[in-house]
């Protein structure tokens, strides 16, 4: 499983990188970015899902 | 406040009606079930979507709605009032495509990196304000605490002299009071403010340093530095957008804790809950409602909208929609899933949200550290600001320990 942020939808609400700072960071404008290639392990999957469930813009996608 | 009380908010809403100002939540719940887009003939005509779906659709639809003005009044701005395509206060009053340019300019200064660096300064400020309240049985958490935090933080960010704080607070007051006044009045009222700000800007031109003023002076638009009016205008926008909003959020949170001793005890005993609690404070007491204008006559969300009708964009109402939030009308201090929209949705997402969150968290942390138990001293005397920014202004708190 992989997590990604759609940069066209993200508006920098800032929820993902405060909930899961190991998975998400931010660029110089404060928009969310995925750290590394976004591959999720069993333990990080739940965190990624929590971040997804808190994104007001629905910009986070978790895919095979 | 109007002297013509509303009988039915579905057909005649008014956000300055005393019932709405005192407790809008039951009104919104009723509208969500009955409408869900309410109408009014007041203010020259307008619509109020009471659901998350309605608010979200309009916030993201910049083709059919304009941000030309975001504060409801009786008139509509004329071309004279609004330098096209920039608008009065870019980026908040700008539409695409110019909006993105104006927004890009300020975002780096409000990104998490530079904002998180302010934490020690904000903490020190809160501690100092609390020192000033020491020994009193009843403190006014609105007018003596919450109110001072946002302007003092922005003063620090701008790099204006600390000893000018009283004068700066006075200027902030002039700006917040005068921003809706007609242009000629406003120019006159702002003259001393502009003179002071210009002096500070010039001082920064001679001695650049690492602060927001120097950042704005270095910023470039189309390869050129900003005109001085643009620098001043951006400062005014930051003051207008960043002060009574954050002050309201801090005040509402303290009001909640004064009324809910179990939540207060949990926060005192489990400080690690703070980040989640802050999001629930923001959801439940979202202070900011914005407005839009309809661009052209159209049928939208089943409503016959007319050009220049107002849209009251109720982010606080969206935050109470049971379609999106389980137990929407319950404050759940450790709510894990919370897609609240207190900072708006879409391209105008609050540029200051990282700063607002930081101020809110530190203000509450320091308040409850100093005063681990407290209650409202006089519930009847609490007053809520009318209009589009909602928060307690008079907030007498009795300190119990
Ligand atoms: C709890 C406090 C705050 C809340 C709830 C809040 C809420 C909002 C909302 C809902 C918007 C969207 C406007 C729209 O859609 O028309 C907005 C925009 C904005 N806010 Fe905030 N705000 C807060 C604090 C701040 C602070 C501290 C600053 C800066 C110092 C700030 C600066 C701005 C700016 C510049 C915009 C315009 C962004 C744009 O149009 O692209 N806000 N705010």
Kindly provide the ipTM of the predicted complex, given to two decimals.
0.97
Look at B74 and A45; give whichever has higher pLDDT. A45
pLDDT for B2 equals 53
Look at B185 and B213; give whichever has higher pLDDT. B213
| Closest residue to A50, CB basis, from B104, B113, B336 | B336
**Other beta carbons within 10 Å of B185:** 11
| B111 to A55: CB separation less than 8 angstroms, yes or no | no
Alpha-carbon torsion (A36, A37, A42, A44), positive or negative: positive
| B354 to A17: CB separation less than 8 angstroms, yes or no | no
d(CA B67, CA B87): 9
Q: Which band of pLDDT confidence, cut at 50, 70 and 90, is reported for residue B80?
A: low
| B338 to A50: CB separation less than 8 angstroms, yes or no | no
Q: Report chain B residues whose CB lies below 8 A from the CB of A12.
A: 107, 349, 353
Q: Provide CATH code, domain B9-399.
A: 1.10.630.10
Q: Over the stretch B275-329, which tens digit does the pLDDT of each residue have?
A: 999 999 999 999 999 999 999 999 999 999 999 999 999 999 999 999 999 999 9
Domains, chain A, in order of start with CATH, read: 2-63 (3.30.70.20)
- Is-above-0.90 flag for pTM? yes
- pLDDT, average across residues B110-120: 97
pLDDT at B84 over 60: no
pLDDT for B153 equals 96
Q: Over the stretch B331-361, which tens digit does the pLDDT of each residue have?
A: 999 999 999 999 999 999 999 999 999 999 9
Ligand 1 pocket check for B247: Cβ under 6 Å: no
Residue reference for tokens 């809110």: B360
All structural domains of chain B with their residue ranges: 9-399
- Taking the CA atoms of chain B, what radius of gyration do you get in angstroms? 21
pLDDT at B126 over 90: yes
- pLDDT, average across residues B235-264: 95
At B181, give phi and psi (nearest 5°). -75, 160
Any CB–CB contact under 8 A between A8 and chain B?
A: no
Residue nearest to atom 22 of ligand 1 (CA): B350
pLDDT at B220 over 70: yes
Report the gap between the CA of B338 and the closest CA in chain A (Å).
5
């Amino acid at each position: 499983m992989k997590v990604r942020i759609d940069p066209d939808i993200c508006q920098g609400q800032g929820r993902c990188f405060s909930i899961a700072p190991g998975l998400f960071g931010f660029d110089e404008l404060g928009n969310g970015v995925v750290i590394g290639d976004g591959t999720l392990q069993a333990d990080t999957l739940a965190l990624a899902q929590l971040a997804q469930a808190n994104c007001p813009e629905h910009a986070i996608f978790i895919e095979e | 406040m109007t002297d013509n009380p509303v009988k039915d908010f579905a057909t005649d809403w008014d956000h300055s009606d005393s019932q709405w100002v005192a407790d809008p939540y039951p009104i919104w719940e009723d509208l969500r079930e009955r409408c869900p887009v309410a109408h009014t003939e007041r203010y020259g005509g307008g619509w109020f979507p009471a659901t998350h779906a309605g608010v979200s659709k309009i916030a993201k639809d910049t083709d059919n709605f304009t941000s030309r003005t975001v504060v409801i009044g009786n008139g509509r701005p004329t071309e004279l009032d609004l330098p096209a395509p920039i608008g009065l206060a870019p980026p908040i009053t700008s539409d695409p495509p110019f909006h993105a340019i104006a927004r890009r300019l300020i975002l780096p200064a409000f990104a998490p990196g530079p904002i998180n660096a302010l934490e020690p300064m904000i903490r020190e400020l809160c501690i100092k304000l609390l020192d000033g309240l020491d020994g009193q049985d009843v403190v006014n958490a609105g007018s003596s605490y919450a109110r001072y935090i946002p302007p003092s933080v922005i003063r620090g960010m701008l790099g204006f002299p600390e000893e000018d704080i009283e004068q700066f607070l006075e200027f902030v007051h002039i700006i917040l009071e005068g921003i809706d006044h007609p242009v000629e009045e406003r120019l006159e009222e702002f003259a001393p403010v502009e003179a002071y700000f210009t002096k500070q800007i010039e001082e920064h031109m001679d001695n650049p340093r690492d602060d927001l003023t120097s950042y704005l002076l270095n910023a470039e638009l189309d390869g050129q530095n900003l005109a001085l009016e643009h620098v001043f205008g951006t400062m005014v926008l930051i003051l207008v957008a960043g002060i009574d909003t954050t002050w309201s959020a801090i005040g509402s949170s303290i009001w909640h804790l004064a009324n809910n001793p179990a939540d207060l005890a949990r926060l005192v005993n489990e400080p690690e809950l703070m980040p989640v609690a802050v999001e629930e404070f923001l959801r439940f007491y979202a202070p900011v409602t914005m407005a839009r204008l309809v661009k052209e006559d159209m049928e939208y969300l089943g409503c016959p909208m007319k050009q220049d009708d107002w849209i009251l964009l109720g982010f606080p109402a969206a935050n109470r929609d049971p379609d999106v939030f389980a137990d929407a009308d319950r404050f759940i201090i450790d709510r894990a899933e919370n897609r609240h929209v207190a900072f708006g949705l879409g391209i105008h997402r609050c540029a200051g949200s990282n700063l607002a969150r930081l101020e809110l968290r530190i203000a509450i942390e320091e308040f409850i550290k100093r005063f681990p138990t407290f209650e409202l001293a006089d519930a009847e005397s609490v007053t809520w600001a009318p209009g589009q920014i909602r928060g307690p202004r008079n907030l007498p708190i009795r300190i119990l320990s």
